[in-house]
A and B are shown apart, each in its own frame.
Chain A
């Protein structure tokens, strides 16, 4: 049919190509970018992890090295003192040590001491000598008969726990002896293995370390190991608590490097027994950026193992979360973008389809209008000439002649009627209708239409009844179009009712609306066909449609006009038991409904 046009549905293949492929491409492209960014972010993260870790390790190890070096210098100064004098008294050693302000500048060092080596024969002399220097309870311990003794004779500051260490024979302690021997043989500062300092006898879990620097006889050579063994006089040494030492290291390093967290182990193993120090909070670190790093660290011929733990926040949260963040964010973004693209494509396709349809529709409606207007001219001509004959302008006619002319005239009238309807349809469809809203007396309108159609009621022996309120009902509507609605409904009621039926028109008022019911006792409309009622060119199949003329446009136009007025029409009907059409119209007219309805109907 010419009029009816629905927008073309795209074939599945076209839909795929046009919509899904570009969308997928967009998604893939942006995901590609996302993946690449995420990969780069991950690489950056790894680089940063590396950097931070290296920095921490370097700083820590550098600090440790420097500190030990400093301590070594202190010991060396001590050796220097002995080398520069014939004899260093206790007081002199005290004054020497005080210069360093050990506690202030060298945290961890318990003291600075002098160890003297002497044979069994000198044992008594040594003890007596020291006792006379103000230490009456001094004795070499552990007691025992040994060939050679080593004892700390001086240990400054000579107070508190240090007093306990005075007189201790270092040789009886294997780790101490080993360190001392190595120092002697290499003429260098050697760190002992982990020991229990005499000062910390009551603190079993306080690891200690000792650093020894050998003191040789000034007069003899000490270039070779043998020479060194021969000319060894004693040692300058410093005991210190590992804890104090390393926690000071920690304090300094972590000031510039908050990510520093480490454990220091003595020697080659990382067991609890060899743990020298653990930085505060080390065990509490729950999340790390890498697994713990174990680094072998050599200091003064001593092997230490340092375990570094890098907490998660050693790397800024932004950098850390960037790889996953980029991935997730990029994915989301790609999805949204692809979604937008899809939506855009679909709506574009739809808009184009509709635009095309509307263009074609418009063109067809324009053609219809033109053709219809053209058709009116010859039909008007026929109307005049047959009218003239029939209305007696060309002389008296026989009954038969009148009858024939009447039939011709009526046929022509129907033709003109159809042209009218087509023009109305074309106008409604292209939205070129504007309603002239006035106050219309709908009560009078119904009466008038009823009167006009009296002849057709008489011919079909139908009864026409109207039930109207006492007071005339005034409604805001377009008089011409409202009349079309009333005419259409009443003439339909008559057309589709057998002879001797009844047509009732009832008018009533609600608060804001006017309700008009047109009821007939005719053929009715089967339920399964009711949805077609108001569509263009649909005529319900029943016995009467075959006999009666109808273009199928009337109800379509009626429905549209009612909609334009902001009203509604419904039908209740069953086959063979008549129909009831109910029209609801607002009493007052709302103008913006019009445009909206035209727009809605035409999309």
Chain B
């Protein structure tokens, strides 16, 4: 069973994603902030991280900088998502090791599930 870490500060969304992914059969860990996410990753290495870019204390970009997936956790898949599609943030996320980007408002539950499945399956994307 694959483990997915959700880092999302909005309670309702965090719950919704957890419910969806759990019913798809994944083990779900929840963090409401980048700092909390870092704490969790110290104990477990998830298979995939759903990373919200905008979080209050430690945001998604800072998380990536500290987590250093490219060097330290090359096997972990990372999907960055936000409701603010700022190209600069997205580019920086990819540079720091994200595999996919998703606009939260786009994905219905089914689409989210599909995306997670596809990302887990594919090989680590070429680092640009």
A residues sitting closer than 8 Å to B (CB atoms) are 373, 376-381, 383-385, 387-388, 391, 393, 416, 419-420
Contacts and interface: CB of A to CB of B under 8 A. Distances in A.
B84 A388 contact: no
B110 A385 contact: no
Contacts of A384: 12-13, 16-17, 20, 108-109
Contact of A376 (B17, B19, B83): B83
Interface in B1-57: 10, 12-13, 16-17, 19-20, 23
A377 B10 CA distance: 8
Contacts, number: 47
B128 interface: no
Contact of B16 (A376, A388, A416): A388
A391 B110 contact: yes
A432 to B, nearest CB: 10
Contacts of A419: 105
Nearest to A417: B105
Nearest to B9: A377
A420 B103 CA distance: 11
Interface of B: 10, 12-13, 16-17, 19-20, 23, 83-84, 104-105, 108-110
Contacts of B19: 388, 393
A391 B83 contact: no
Contacts of A383: 105, 108
Nearest to A434: B87
A380 B13 contact: yes
Contacts of A376: 83, 104-105
A384 to B, nearest CB: 4
Give chain A's interface secondary structure class.
helix
A381 B20 contact: no
Contact of A380 (B20, B105, B110): B105
A49 B23 CA distance: 114
Given A384-B16, A387-B108, 20 more contacts: A373-B84, A376-B83, A377-B10, A377-B104, A378-B12, A380-B104, A380-B105, A381-B12, A381-B16, A383-B108, A384-B12, A384-B13, A384-B108, A387-B109, A391-B110, A393-B19, A393-B23, A393-B109, A416-B105, A419-B105
A391 B12 contact: no
B108 A373 contact: no
A378 B19 CA distance: 17
Looking at B10, B13, B83, which has the most chain A CB atoms within 10 Å of its CB? B83
A385 B108 contact: no
A359 B12 CA distance: 36
Nearest to B81: A380
B84 to A, nearest CB: 5
B10 A387 contact: no
B48 to A, nearest CB: 18
A416 B108 CA distance: 12
B110 A387 contact: yes
Contacts of A381: 10, 12-13, 16
Contacts of B105: 376, 379-380, 383, 416, 419-420
A402 to B, nearest CB: 14
A384 B12 CA distance: 9
B13 A393 contact: no
A385 B104 CA distance: 13
17 contacts: A376-B104, A376-B105, A377-B83, A380-B13, A380-B83, A380-B104, A381-B12, A384-B13, A384-B108, A387-B108, A387-B109, A388-B19, A393-B19, A393-B23, A416-B105, A419-B105, A420-B105
Contacts of B20: 384, 388, 393
B105 to A, nearest CB: 5
Contacts of B84: 373
A376 B104 CA distance: 9
B14 to A, nearest CB: 10
Nearest to A415: B105
